[in-house]
């Protein structure tokens, strides 16, 4: 996992926010022609096209010291290609906190570490090759020994922040894998995938880990994975129903119909600096895929709180307990004000908004990495 060590995620400081456009239902294509523009101008334009806020760490980063003016000329480029160029010109890059169980996109002066590992941009995703592990095992027998040689490539992926990702697969299918002599590194035998694995949602899908196992070359002179072409996938929300509940600090047991499924807002209570939400959802007549999409949307925090003037109090929920079953969910979710995302003038929560999925699609992610060293 890639981390830049940061702390004080909820510190109080002057905030600089950027008005994002609508969240994307497909990967964005960035077109920008800015010459000698301020960093603030460039960030505002990229945030608008990406459909996502660009919180800064610390929130008053641009007030602490001027960043160099930026020239960007891009025509229909992937989001991460634009971000890599921005990083090279300003030093701004995504930064994560190791203690945050549900990382989200934010920018800081990370020291150039984010882009250092071998990486490839594949549509809305950038994948980093973190490490190659090599294991050699001999299973001993009375007359014959069995030799097992395996390579494991570990990766970290990041999705563009404006895409409504419902599920990110941790699995990679190796389409082509060859060593530096052109010999195939046939895919190692894998354990059967649990059919229910896709029910294991990630909360706030922005970054996740992946791995692929290959058979290790027997020739000790082979020192590289010359080429690895792989495939994984995302599940992306493409249409939605806006579900609202008003006066959330007072009302109890409010029923709604969400994409044909019974939804009940149980309660919202304040606990110190947090707001704890209890809701329930029933499958009713939803198909397995429709139910899974609703489950993932609820679990991955695609709910928001607003005050009585429409100002954003909290832009996402994170899982805080509950019971998740095949045909019902009784969830406890946690909201917290986030610098750079929440409106600093927002009062207490008044309205809950859930943009619940009514349609989704699987988005294939194909990528290729080259010249990865093999350990001795």
Last residue of a domain, one of 116, 135, 162: 116
Give residues with Cβ within 8 angstroms of 127, minimum separation 6: 119, 120, 155, 156, 157, 210, 365, 367, 369
Confidence of residue 24 (pLDDT cuts 50, 70, 90): low
Which residue, 107, 105, 126, is CA-closest to 210? Answer: 126
Per-residue confidence (pLDDT) for residue 272, from 0 to 100: 92
Confidence of residue 69 (pLDDT cuts 50, 70, 90): very high
CATH number at residue 69: 3.55.50
Is residue 232 located within the same domain as residue 242? no
- How many Å is the Cα radius of gyration of the chain? 23
Per-residue confidence (pLDDT) for residue 325, from 0 to 100: 85
Tokens standing for 104? 């989200």
Is residue 111 located within the same domain as residue 176? no
CATH number at residue 303: 2.60.40
- Residue 5 pLDDT > 50, yes or no? no
Taking each helix axis from N to C terminus, what angle separates 39-50 and 79-90, rounded to the nearest 10 degrees?
170
Is residue 230 located within the same domain as residue 247? no
- Residue 168 pLDDT > 90, yes or no? yes
In which domain, by residue range, is 170 found? 125-192+199-236+365-373
Structural domain total, the chain = 3
Would residue 10 count as lying in a domain?
Answer: no
Backbone torsions φ then ψ of 353, nearest 5 degrees: -125, 125
Per-residue confidence (pLDDT) for residue 96, from 0 to 100: 84
Question: Averaged over 74-89, what is the pLDDT?
Answer: 96
Tokens standing for 204? 């706030």
Of 298 and 200, more confident: 298
Per-residue confidence (pLDDT) for residue 46, from 0 to 100: 96
Q: Scan for tokens 């029923």, then name that residue.
A: 255
Question: Averaged over 115-120, what is the pLDDT?
Answer: 96
Is residue 279 located within the same domain as residue 351? yes
Last residue of a domain, one of 116, 143, 171: 116
Of 246 and 6, more confident: 246
Is residue 337 located within the same domain as residue 273? yes
Highest mean pLDDT out of 129-143, 147-161, 195-209, 268-282: 268-282
- Residue 15 pLDDT > 70, yes or no? no
Is residue 162 located within the same domain as residue 111? no
Last residue of a domain, one of 49, 83, 116: 116
Would residue 12 count as lying in a domain?
Answer: no
- How does 163-195 read in b/e, with b if 16+ C-beta sit within 10 Å? bbbbbbbeebebeebbbbeeeebeebeeeeeee
Of 13 and 84, more confident: 84
């Amino acid at each position: 996992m890639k981390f830049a060590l940061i702390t004080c995620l909820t510190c109080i400081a002057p905030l600089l926010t950027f008005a994002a456009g609508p969240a994307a239902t497909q990967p964005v294509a960035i077109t920008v022609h800015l010459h000698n523009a301020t960093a603030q101008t460039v960030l505002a334009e990229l945030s608008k096209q990406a459909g996502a806020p660009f919180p800064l760490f610390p929130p008053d980063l641009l007030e602490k010291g001027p960043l160099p003016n930026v020239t960007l000329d891009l025509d229909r480029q992937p989001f991460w290609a634009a971000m890599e160029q921005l990083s090279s010109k300003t030093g701004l890059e995504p930064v994560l906190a190791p203690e945050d169980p549900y990382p989200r996109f934010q920018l800081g002066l990370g020291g150039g570490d984010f882009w250092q590992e071998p990486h490839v941009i594949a549509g809305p995703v950038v994948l980093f090759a973190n490490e190659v592990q090599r294991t050699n095992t001999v299973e001993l027998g009375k007359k014959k020994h069995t030799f097992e040689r395996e390579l494991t490539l570990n990766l970290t992926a990041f999705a563009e922040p404006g895409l409504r990702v419902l599920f990110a697969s941790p699995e990679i299918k190796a389409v082509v894998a060859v060593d530096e002599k052109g010999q195939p590194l046939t895919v190692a035998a894998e354990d059967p995938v649990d059919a229910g694995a896709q029910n294991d949602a990630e909360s706030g899908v922005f970054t996740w880990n992946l791995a692929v196992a290959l058979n290790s070359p027997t020739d000790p002179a082979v020192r590289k994975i010359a080429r690895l072409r792989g495939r994984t996938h995302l599940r992306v929300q493409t249409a939605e129903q806006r579900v609202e509940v008003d006066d959330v600090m007072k009302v109890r047991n409010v029923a709604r119909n969400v994409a044909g499924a019974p939804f009940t807002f149980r309660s919202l209570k304040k606990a110190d600096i947090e707001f704890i939400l209890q809701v329930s959802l029933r499958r009713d007549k939803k198909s397995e895929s429709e139910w899974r999409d609703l489950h993932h949307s609820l679990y991955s925090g695609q709910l928001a709180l607003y005050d009585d003037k429409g100002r954003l109090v909290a832009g996402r929920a994170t899982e805080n307990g509950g019971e998740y079953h095949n045909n019902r969910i009784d969830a406890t979710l946690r909201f917290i004000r986030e610098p750079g995302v929440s409106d600093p003038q927002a009062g207490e929560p008044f309205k809950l908004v859930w943009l619940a999925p009514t349609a989704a699609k699987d988005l294939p992610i194909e990528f290729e990495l080259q010249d990865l060293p093999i350990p001795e």
